């Protein structure tokens, strides 16, 4: 039994909150309750939060005062979330160009916490949140972490692309916190080879963390390494939370087979923290519905359940710098399914990716490049690795790293399969020696150079 965990949870966690003056424990208590509320009660609270946020933005954020006035939007007349359509989408460029005017004039500078996105697919995006929002974000992440069985004070291993992507502890106290309160073990997977993976294996065996938080592809490669080398002496966690990359069914199955444990997928962002994640039932991803409102759009209109749509987020809690109808450039699939757990938080699917991962067929069909690439790798003979690239409408390049058995049958397979998804598209096969990861260490299955507005 781990004697340290209850001390960390019941003594250090509240003590630290008091020392820092944060309200994480209170937000966590509230979120633990509200996830079980009936939908009507949840919706009522969310609508109150939306109205309050819109009134605040109109009164105290010069950017929104002007934007609402220009578009004839009146926050006082909001009856439902559907009324949000009267507000233009907030783009990343809007944030870059108007950040200071988006900050609320009635929130003291000392209460603003700066943050930025990693910028793996472009320049970093700088933004602010208020201190209270930081607490509710941290609490939301803890609630979703706890769905895996992990609890405050339990050790966890981070199998991550870059250490700096998680947190960058600066003070001695926060370093101590990583060691004794968060109890995290970091494994940098930015360059993976057999020697490095074998050192992971030994280190995990020695430290024995019951939970992993991982890049989906990194933990997949680690699982594949264990399977391919026939390893039997390796550590098996109780649960693995994957995020940051798509987790397709084949990869999930291999991870589950090797570790024999629960694998929970998660979708989050720097701008809003955890957006949605799977609960212990491992079905759809529950949206963090108390604090965020999500729309799924194509051509500015909501898509039907089961259809991919561009994700637009309204953060109901960030008063320091409100994000209202923020076009985050990700794609998700809304769902009407009720999860077996009974939580009132709606679910979504993220078998999707970023808007720039989606390709356009000849008849306007949207093709998930990631899903298709995985399908092609799994089914085309002799393909070690692949990537789809669309530089222009009506054209497609398939980049392939040859594997054993690559040949005429492979080409025939592509000639048959590609038109099934894209129609009569002009495509070509490029044989390459390797496919590079992007600067943050992620492997991109597909890349679209089209303007996302052409696709969504």
Nearer to Zn ion, 288 or 321 (CB): 288
Task: Name the residue nearer to Zn ion (CB basis): 142 or 328.
Answer: 142
Query: How is residue 343 annotated by DSSP?
Result: -
Helix H or strand E segment including 47: helix 39-60
Sign of CA dihedral 313, 319, 320, 321: positive
Measured from the CB atom, the residue of 36 and 180 that comes closer to Zn ion is 36
Q: Minimum distance from CB of 29 to Zn ion (Å)?
A: 20
> By three-state DSSP, how is residue 126 classified?
strand
Q: What is the DSSP letter of 201?
A: H
Nearest-approach distance from CB 26 to Zn ion, in angstroms: 24
Nearer to Zn ion, 209 or 344 (CB): 344
Which C-beta is closer to Zn ion: that of 276 or that of 328?
Answer: 276
Distance CA 67, CA 326 (A): 14
Of residues 426, 449, 454, the one with CA closest to residue 369: 449
Residue 342 or 439 having the CB closest to Zn ion: 342
Kindly state the smallest distance separating residue 279's Cβ from Zn ion, in Å.
3
Distance CA 398, CA 387 (A): 6
How far apart are CB 390 and Zn ion at their closest, in Å? Answer: 36
CA distance 402 to 454: 32
- For the chain, the farthest-separated pair of C-alpha atoms sits apart, in whole angstroms, at 68
d(CA 115, CA 113): 7
Beta carbons of 223 and 259 less than 8 angstroms apart = yes
The nearest distance, CB 190 to Zn ion, in angstroms, is 33
Tell me if 362 sits within 8 A of 439, measured CB to CB: no
Show the tokens assigned to 383: 């393909």
Nearer to Zn ion, 285 or 418 (CB): 285
Find, among 43, 84, 42, the residue nearest to 67 by Cα.
84
CB nearer Zn ion, residue 254 or residue 338: 338
Instruction: Give the length of the chain.
Output: 456
How many C-beta atoms lie closer than 10 Å to residue 157's C-beta?
25
CB count within 10 Å of CB 54 equals: 24
Least spacing, CB of residue 332 vs Zn ion, in Å: 17
- Closest to Zn ion by CB, 47 or 341: 341
Min CB(42)–Zn ion separation in Å? 14
Q: Six-digit token pair at 205?
A: 């065996």
Both tokens of 188, joined, read 């940098």
Q: How near is the Cβ of 179 to Zn ion at its closest, in Å?
A: 32
| Residue 39 vs 453, nearer CB to Zn ion | 39
CB of 418 to Zn ion, least distance (A): 37
Where does this chain bind Zn ion (CB under 5 A)? 279, 281, 339, 341
CB of 286 to Zn ion, least distance (A): 6
In the numeric block, which tokens belong to residue 223?
């699982």
Torsion angle of the four alpha carbons 229, 211, 119, 128, in this order, in degrees rounded to the nearest 10: 180
Q: What 8-state DSSP symbol labels residue 352?
A: E
């Amino acid at each position: 039994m781990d004697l340290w965990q209850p001390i960390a949870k019941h003594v250090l966690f509240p003590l630290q909150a008091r020392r820092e003056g944060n309200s994480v424990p209170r937000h966590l208590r509230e979120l633990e309750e509200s996830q079980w509320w009936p939908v009507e009660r949840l919706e009522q609270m969310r609508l109150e939060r939306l109205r309050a946020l819109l009134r605040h933005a109109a009164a105290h954020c010069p950017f929104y005062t002007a934007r609402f006035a220009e578009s004839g939007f009146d926050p006082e007349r909001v009856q439902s979330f559907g009324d949000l359509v009267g507000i233009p989408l907030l783009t990343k460029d809007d944030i870059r160009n108007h950040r200071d005017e988006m900050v609320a004039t009635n929130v003291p500078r000392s209460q603003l916490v700066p943050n930025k996105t990693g910028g793996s697919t472009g320049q970093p995006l700088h933004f602010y949140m208020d201190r209270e929002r930081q607490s509710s974000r941290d609490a939301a992440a803890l609630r979703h972490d706890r769905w895996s069985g992990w609890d405050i004070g339990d050790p966890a291993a981070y199998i991550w692309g870059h250490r700096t992507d998680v947190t960058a502890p600066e003070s001695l106290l926060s370093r101590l916190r990583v060691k004794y309160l968060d109890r995290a073990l970091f494994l940098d997977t930015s360059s993976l080879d057999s020697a490095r993976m074998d050192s992971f294996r030994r280190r995990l065996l020695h430290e024995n963390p019951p939970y992993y938080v991982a890049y989906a592809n990194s933990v997949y490669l680690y699982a594949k390494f264990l399977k391919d080398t026939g390893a039997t002496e390796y550590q098996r966690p109780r649960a693995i939370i994957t995020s940051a990359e798509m987790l397709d069914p084949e990869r999930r199955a291999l991870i589950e087979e090797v570790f024999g444990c629960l694998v929970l997928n998660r979708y989050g962002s720097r701008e809003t923290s955890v957006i949605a994640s799977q609960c212990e039932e491992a079905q759809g991803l529950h949206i963090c519905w108390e604090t965020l409102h999500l729309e799924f759009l194509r051509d500015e209109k909501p898509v039907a359940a089961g259809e991919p749509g561009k994700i637009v987020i309204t953060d109901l809690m960030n008063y320091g710098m409100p994000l209202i109808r923020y076009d985050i450039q990700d794609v998700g699939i809304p769902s009407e399914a009720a999860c077996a757990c009974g939580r009132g938080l709606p679910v979504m699917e993220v078998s999707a990716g970023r808007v720039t991962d989606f390709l356009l067929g000849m008849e306007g069909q949207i093709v998930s490049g990631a899903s298709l690439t995985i399908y092609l790798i799994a089914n085309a003979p002799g393909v070690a690795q692949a990537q789809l690239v669309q530089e222009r409408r009506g054209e497609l390049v398939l980049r392939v790293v040859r594997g054993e058995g690559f040949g005429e049958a492979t080409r025939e397979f592509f000639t048959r399969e590609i038109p099934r998804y894209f129609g009569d598209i002009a495509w070509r096969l490029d044989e390459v020696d390797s496919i590079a990861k992007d600067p943050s260490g992620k492997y991109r299955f597909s890349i679209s150079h089209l303007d996302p507005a052409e696709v969504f």
